[in-house]
Structure formats: C-alpha cells, structure tokens
Amino acid sequence: SQQGEEDPQALSIQEGENATMNCSYKTSINNLQWYRQNSGRGLVHLILIRSNEREKHSGRLRVTLDTSKKSSSLLITASRAADTASYFCATDVGSGGYQKVTFGIGTKLQVIP
C-alpha cells in the first residue's frame, strides 16, 4: 500500500476559493514534500517540510505537518484556474543511507473560472 495517501482524491472549487488537501502516512519520516502535476506533464516540486517543522509557507501555499498524527495538509489560498492539477505528497521511507521517496496517489484539483 502507499506510504502517503492524499485526501480527497478529487476536489472542485471556484476560482478565488481556498483549496485544502490532506496527506496521511504510516511510518516515521525525515521530511515530506508536495508536488504538482499538470495534465500530461511531469511532477513539479512545490515545497518541502522537515519533520521538525510544523508549518511552512511559499507564496499562496501553506503546508502543515503533524508528526503525532502522521499527517500533512496543503492549503492553496485564492485559487486560480492555473492551479488545476493533481497534487501529490511524497514521504521518505527507510533508515540509514539514502531515503527512498514514496508518492501518494494524488488529489485531483479542479479550479473553475
């Protein structure tokens, strides 16, 4: 099964609204990343949050991490039609050596103009 699981699997909102996506994971992590994938394209890194951080901001993005609940959320404020994409969380697994990253199944976000 996936290490990271996003919720919801699909989300449709009006332009200007905020979009919140959640990610839950099973085992302890060193860091968690969020990626965006536009249709037919590769994934693009958005933001990385380390296990000792609780919140991080980047432009209209806000990521929180709750290691006690093994969950993270991605908030996109004032959404735009261009934010329409799939969003994935990625967590590193394993101990020692290189940390292998595992991606969730993604949340498909549609922003309606």
Candidates 73, 85, 88; CA nearest to 109 is 85
Could you tell me which stretch among 19-27, 65-73, 77-85, 104-112 binds another protein (CB under 8 A)? 104-112
The only residue of 24, 79, 102, 107 in contact with another protein, by rule CB under 8 A: 102
**Which residue's CB is nearer to another protein, number 24 or number 102?**
102
1 binds another protein (CB under 8 A): no
Could you tell me which stretch among 14-22, 62-70, 75-83, 88-96 binds another protein (CB under 8 A)? 88-96
User: For the chain, where are the alpha helices, taking DSSP H only?
Assistant: none
Q: Rg for the chain (alpha carbons), in Å?
A: 14
The only residue of 84, 87, 106, 109 in contact with another protein, by rule CB under 8 A: 106
Q: How far apart are CA 102 and CA 105, in angstroms?
A: 10
Helix (H) or strand (E) holding 21: strand 19-25
Size of the site for another protein (CB under 8 A): 26
Q: Which residue has the tokens 């959320």?
A: 73
Handedness of CA 47, 10, 66, 102 (dihedral sign): negative
98 binds another protein (CB under 8 A): yes
Binding site for another protein (CB under 8 A): 2, 30-31, 33, 40-45, 48, 50, 88, 90, 92, 96-106
